[in-house]
Amino acid sequence: MDLGNFFNSKNVAIVGVSRNPNKIGHVIFRNLIDGEFSGNIFVVNPNVQSILGYVSYKNISQIKEKIDLVIIAVPAKQAVKVVNECGRKKIKDLIIISAGFKEVGNNKLENSLQKAIKKYKLRVIGPNCLGVLNTKNKLDTLFLPHYRLKRPKQGGISFVCQSGAVGSTILDLASREEDGFAKFISYGNAIDVDESDLIEYLASDYDTKVICLYVEAIKDAKKFMKVMKQTTKRKPVIVVKGGMTEEGNKATLSHTGSLAGSAEVYLAAFKQTGMIYAQSLEDMFNYARILEGSIRPKNNRIQIITNGGGYGIICTDAVVNNNLRMAEPSKETKRNLKKYFPPIVILNNPMDLTGDATTERYRLSIEACLNDKNIDVLLLVVLYQTPLITTDVVDVITEFKNMHKKPIIVVSTGGEFTQILKESLQNNGVPCFTYPENAVKSIKALVDYYL
């Protein structure tokens, strides 16, 4: 199924744009304008002449230009009529934002929607969804105002999400953490396009480096298995499954109107297809960050470099607990660094540059470890609280990262000042973490995917 129009349409029509700024259609329209969507927007509302300076069309048929994608934001009862109209006009791709179908027990309405889709061979995302966000051309159907929900910057993570709330809030959080997203899709009831179709599309999408999936119930298990097996060979797919417990499973029924299977079955399926199972949204987010930002490690030997002794120990515990290996720096590395460092610096693993570490100490030790064949992954703890760490440490780390020799992951715990430098590093494509345990757990996900 070619889903390109859902992300790359030039001419987009929104049906159901009220003048009331709180109504869904209006918010979507506003967001496309404010977000500087690179295509053309057409507005349909039979009751008014114009909205925010745009001509308002009586219906889809009135628009002379060729429409690539229609966003439907009318009440559920009117949606079927609009869908039929689109079908007659030979517009194939629709996003139905409207809620009030199967998820509230309105199976009759969902069925007549289904009929229209079949009749005209349409491709539909939704209903009961937020639709899509493409950070590249700013095509954005999320009906949540920008001031409440910031859109993340452009990047390599794509997120397929059965729950609009989960997806949108994670996007918003990502905007604060400087994580970059390619595409987001909230697919709701999945009356036509489902999670497998979307992931199949993202597998071939050049901008997508990592795929995240939040799912409560798989629609077509066979199709899912097939698509996942193929996709995970090309790029990592991280999955969080809602309703893994019996009680959670019951709750999904009323949420999406579809039945979830048992936890064991899902876990086995995820494993068999090579997906990365995340136990929490936080883990998913962390795994996505490292898998997007890091190159492939050669092996699982981790070298810790730190300017805080306690952090070195916590990282060591985490490396062991996650079944990774502590690297043993070569004699040559130690001998070389010994020349430059005061005796207080511990040239081992963890390598403790101590509290008076300078940026230069980081430069020297990172360089030596990148050249050391005993080391596969560099875990840097950089605590910016000590005055001798100058802010150009960000540039030093970025330069090494850009050599693409080994994965470099950074842990920095702290407040405002730390956050500024962390964001700067993140913007340069270096995966950064607040907590050492989360960083190591994510390295484990990285190693497991590639090795």
| Residues across the chain | 451
Binding residue (CB under 8 A) for a second copy from 168, 208, 231, 336: 168
Near a second copy in 185-204, by CB under 8 A:
none
- The total of other beta-carbon atoms located within 10 Å of residue 279's CB is 11
Which residues partner with 186 through β-bridges?
131, 161
Instruction: State the DSSP code for 346.
Output: B
- DSSP assignment of 355-423 equals TT--HHHHHHHHHHHHT-TT--EEEEE--TTSTTS-TTHHHHHHHHHTTTSS-EEEE---SHHHHHHHH
Contacts of 420 (CB under 8 A, 6+ apart): none
Candidates 69-77, 225-233, 347-355, 394-402: pick the segment binding a second copy (CB under 8 A).
347-355
Residue span 365-384 as binding mask against a second copy, x where in contact by CB under 8 A, dash where not:
------------------xx
Cβ of residue 414: shortest distance to a second copy, in angstroms?
4
Q: Is residue 220 a contact point for a second copy (CB under 8 A)?
A: no
How far apart are the C-alpha atoms of 435 and 3, rounded to whole Å?
38
Cβ of residue 217: shortest distance to a second copy, in angstroms?
11
Q: Is residue 435 a contact point for a second copy (CB under 8 A)?
A: yes
Candidates 4-12, 53-61, 228-236, 275-283: pick the segment binding a second copy (CB under 8 A).
275-283
3-state secondary structure of 215: strand
How far apart are the C-alpha atoms of 371 and 376, rounded to whole Å?
10
- Quick one: 63 or 351, whose CB is closer to a second copy? 351
Near a second copy in 386-415, by CB under 8 A:
386-388, 413-415
Cβ of residue 61: shortest distance to a second copy, in angstroms?
31
How far apart are the C-alpha atoms of 225 and 273, rounded to whole Å?
6
Q: Is residue 20 a contact point for a second copy (CB under 8 A)?
A: no
How far apart are the C-alpha atoms of 328 and 350, rounded to whole Å?
10
CB-based contact 56:42 (threshold 8 Å): no
Residue span 31-70 as binding mask against a second copy, x where in contact by CB under 8 A, dash where not:
----------------------------------------
Cβ of residue 288: shortest distance to a second copy, in angstroms?
14
What does the angle CA 21 – CA 24 – CA 28 come to, to the nearest 5 degrees?
A: 85
- Quick one: 162 or 300, whose CB is closer to a second copy? 162
- Quick one: 60 or 240, whose CB is closer to a second copy? 240
Binding residue (CB under 8 A) for a second copy from 137, 172, 299, 374: 172
Residue 40, both tokens: 């053309």
CB-based contact 432:381 (threshold 8 Å): no
Alpha helices in 139-208 (DSSP H): 164-177, 195-203
Binding residue (CB under 8 A) for a second copy from 57, 120, 214, 270: 214
- Quick one: 53 or 343, whose CB is closer to a second copy? 343
Binding residue (CB under 8 A) for a second copy from 59, 398, 419, 428: 419
Cβ of residue 170: shortest distance to a second copy, in angstroms?
7
Near a second copy in 143-162, by CB under 8 A:
144-145, 147-150, 161-162
- Quick one: 56 or 252, whose CB is closer to a second copy? 252
CB-based contact 338:330 (threshold 8 Å): no
How far apart are the C-alpha atoms of 151 and 10, rounded to whole Å?
21
Which residues partner with 124 through β-bridges?
94
Contacts of 335 (CB under 8 A, 6+ apart): none
**Count of residues touching a second copy (by CB under 8 A):** 81
> Residue 168, by phi and psi: left (phi above 0), alpha (psi -120 to 50) or beta?
alpha
Binding residue (CB under 8 A) for a second copy from 438, 443, 444, 447: 438
Consecutive H or E run containing 264? helix 263-273
Contacts of 209 (CB under 8 A, 6+ apart): 156, 157, 182, 235, 291, 292
Near a second copy in 235-264, by CB under 8 A:
240, 242-248, 251-252, 254-256
Binding residue (CB under 8 A) for a second copy from 114, 169, 358, 427: 169
Residue span 305-344 as binding mask against a second copy, x where in contact by CB under 8 A, dash where not:
--xxxxxxxx-xx-xxx----x----------------xx
Consecutive H or E run containing 156? strand 153-161
Cβ of residue 240: shortest distance to a second copy, in angstroms?
8
- Quick one: 49 or 264, whose CB is closer to a second copy? 264
Cβ of residue 385: shortest distance to a second copy, in angstroms?
4
